[in-house]
A and B are shown apart, each in its own frame.
Chain A
Amino acid sequence: MRKKVGTLAAVLSICLIGCSPEEDDNEITIWSFTDEGEYAVAAFSEKYPDVKVNFQFIPSSQYETKLRSALSTGIRAPDVFALEAQYVRKFIDHPSLESLSEAPYDAEALIDSHYEYIQGMERDSNGDVRTVGYQGTTGGFYFRRDLAEEYLGTDDPKEVSEMIETWDEVFSISKRVYEESGGTVHGLPNWNSIGQVQDALVNQAWVVDDKLIIDQAKRDVLDLVDQAIEADALAMLDDWSPGWTASMQQGSVLFYPGPSWYLQYVLQANAPDTSGLWGLASGPAAFSGGGTFYSVYSGSDNKDLAWEFVKFYGFDVDFLQNLAVDEQYYTSHRGANEGVADEITSDFLAGQNYFEFFNEESENVQAVVRSSFDGDINDIFNELMDSYARGNFHSQEEFWQRFKRDVQTYFPELTIE
């Protein structure tokens, strides 16, 4: 009996060992929460035909947990992994992210080609490069040209930009549009149109030296939202809600502030029939939104190849220019964007050369150093702001009290005054 059990165990062990994939020297595994990386993998494989790349797309809902588990245990950890702007700061200082500043990587010299605000995300708390971005997420005010022509008298993006250089101007236009349209057209979809722009203007992270800091730019959001509500500027459409997407098609909102990826993933995806009806203008401040970054696992057996991939994705100008042209993808690389700016226009934006627009705007986006708490505290702030914009707080003081209480509840280790 004992012999039989022993045999069974041996067979099982052999099977398990046999079933576990062993990477060879020319093979790397990449994890990402988005399938966008497949384009880069195909291009990388073309350039490096001897390298086998296993690209694994893991849905966002499971990605962070799975990545934490792989990085902390080292069991079947990927050689390269993607991080999203929302949680990149939670991982950036961890030793499982290979520091790329020094030899043999020397990324320090390479990241100068990236916009300053991207560099701010690529460096850890000590200033070392630990992750590399490929995507330029600069923002702008997308607007409906037909509505602009009707209510502002022009659909020229430059002229529209000059009309909305301050929030006061945005709200004043919104008020006029609301009144002239008989209440059917609003200036902005929701409070977050203001919030995401203000988020780029903060001078400090939410947490400095374990202390909660409420930056003036964040405080200003409440005043601005009050003003916007007063001017009937907000359509009160929740982001990603059916009403929000329908408004793009219907033309019931004039401006949609959004990052570069908003063009293909939001407007074109949700309002395909409105091609040619859109323009892109500069709002009261330059901002950015989101972003995907790739890091090398410090315990990887193939760090050289892993770095080749990350370097290719973040710095290979030929590849990035192809990505820009083929996928209408605005990249993090100044040189790549400038090289193709002349030839890239969008039919959806009525032929506007939006790369030129973003190239100018990108230089003005402020680089903000974030803390590991920022993503979560922003979530708390945004949730409460949703409620504030719907009139559920009697005063700003009540809002801040609740905000501080919630932050303290989630993060008892922080000092909150």
Chain B
Amino acid sequence: MFINRINKGNCGYFFIAPFFIVFLLFGLYPILYSFYLSLTNWDGLNDPEFIGLANYTRAIIDPLFLQSLFNTFFIWIVSVVPQLTVSLVLAVILTNTFLIGKDFFRAVYFFPNIVTAASLGLLVSLMFDWQTGSVNQLLMSIGFLDQAIDWKNNALFMQMLVSAILFFQYFGYSMLIYIAGLQGISPEYAEAAKVDGASKIQIFFKITVPLLKPIIIFQVITSLIGGVQIFDQPYMLTEGSGSPNHATLTSVMYLYRTAFEQGRFGYGATIAFCLFVVIVSLSVISYLVSRNRSKIA
């Protein structure tokens, strides 16, 4: 009966057409063309030479690509675990009805997200310059260090530094998403539990966290997609080199170097597609793992 009342004229197609036209031209076509390029050897000047799956067989044994994947995930994991934990705790605190100045703190914690990643990378790079950087100057002035430390020559430290920048930049954003999620949970559950004698910690782990599970999955998947694309921060921090010893060379930096610095667009497209496959696989795994756990719960 409802369907009978819908106007089934063709005008609707006209109104939805712009999206599809733009998507086909600027979304789907470049994706398909990139896939074609990934099967070629192309320097951007001469005609692409079709080489089949040779780029893919090269990628799976390419030590730099594999190292860049490892770097990317290491940096991501070191950043995302504290990021999601701290932001959840902050979100719970800042949704407390009786807390004074919570709007102020919400804004303050969100501020780092407004600053561009490149600016943050450059700022930290200047701070950790071993001869003129403020960090060494400060540590030496308070007598903590006798001589300046060459921070940028320590692979693990540099990876942790990139993770720290990512944490600093995104914990406020994650916090806001959690706050939105927390505000969607009816206070009645907590009140009922309280009446039954549950402690605040029990309420948090037994009620709040399970009910927030869809939000947590969303956060993990979106941060995974963002994490695999880490580029600006390590690029600015190391002036594009991924130093020391490729420790901060992320996959997208490797893609950029291969395609845009060396003009190897075919292999660059292959790396992009490999990353696409990695992101889709991990997203599916994250989804399946969380869904199975929900069933068990």
Residues in chain A within 8 A of chain B (CB atoms): 1, 5, 64-65, 68-69, 71-72, 90-91, 94, 96, 236-237, 240-243, 246, 376, 379, 383, 386-387, 390, 392, 405-406, 409-410, 412
Q: In the bound complex, what is the Cα–Cα distance between A96 and B45 (angstroms)?
A: 9
Shortest beta-carbon distance, B61 to chain A, in Å? 10
| Chain A binder among B78-86, B125-133, B162-170, B191-199 | B125-133
> A390 contacts which chain B residues (CB < 8 A)?
150, 153, 244
Minimum-distance CB pairs A-B, first 5 = A243-B131, A68-B44, A242-B132, A243-B132, A390-B153
Q: Interface size on B (CB < 8 Å)?
A: 30
Q: In the bound complex, what is the Cα–Cα distance between A294 and B262 (angstroms)?
A: 21
Q: In the bound complex, what is the Cα–Cα distance between A390 and B132 (angstroms)?
A: 18
Would A90 and B263 count as touching, CB distance under 8 A? yes
Shortest beta-carbon distance, A102 to chain B, in Å? 23
Judged by a CB distance under 8 angstroms, whether B58 is at the interface is yes
Would A237 and B131 count as touching, CB distance under 8 A? yes
Q: In the bound complex, what is the Cα–Cα distance between A148 and B78 (angstroms)?
A: 50
> A96 contacts which chain B residues (CB < 8 A)?
45
B127-168 CB mask vs A (1 if < 8 Å, else 0) is 001111100000000000000001001000000000000000
> A91 contacts which chain B residues (CB < 8 A)?
45
State the majority secondary structure of interface residues on B: loop
> B290 contacts which chain A residues (CB < 8 A)?
none
**Residues A72 and B150 in contact in the complex (CB < 8 Å), given A242-B126, A376-B261:** no
Closest to B260 in A: A65
> B130 contacts which chain A residues (CB < 8 A)?
243
Closest to A412 in B: B58
Residues in chain B within 8 A of chain A (CB atoms): 10-11, 14, 43-46, 58, 62-64, 126, 129-133, 150, 153, 239, 241, 243-245, 258, 260-264
Q: In the bound complex, what is the Cα–Cα distance between A64 and B244 (angstroms)?
A: 26
Shortest beta-carbon distance, B171 to chain A, in Å? 28
> A392 contacts which chain B residues (CB < 8 A)?
153, 244-245
Shortest beta-carbon distance, A298 to chain B, in Å? 13
Would A68 and B45 count as touching, CB distance under 8 A? yes
> A1 contacts which chain B residues (CB < 8 A)?
10-11, 14
Q: In the bound complex, what is the Cα–Cα distance between A236 and B153 (angstroms)?
A: 12
> B264 contacts which chain A residues (CB < 8 A)?
410
Would B131 and A406 count as touching, CB distance under 8 A? no
Would A410 and B129 count as touching, CB distance under 8 A? no
Shortest beta-carbon distance, A279 to chain B, in Å? 25
Shortest beta-carbon distance, B51 to chain A, in Å? 11
Contact of A410 among B132, B153, B241, B258 (CB under 8 A): B258
Would B132 and A94 count as touching, CB distance under 8 A? no
Could you pull out 23 A-B pairs where Cβ atoms are within 8 angstroms? A1-B10, A1-B11, A65-B260, A68-B44, A68-B45, A68-B263, A72-B45, A90-B263, A91-B45, A240-B239, A241-B132, A242-B133, A243-B129, A243-B132, A246-B132, A379-B261, A383-B243, A386-B241, A386-B243, A387-B244, A392-B153, A392-B244, A392-B245
> A237 contacts which chain B residues (CB < 8 A)?
131
> B11 contacts which chain A residues (CB < 8 A)?
1
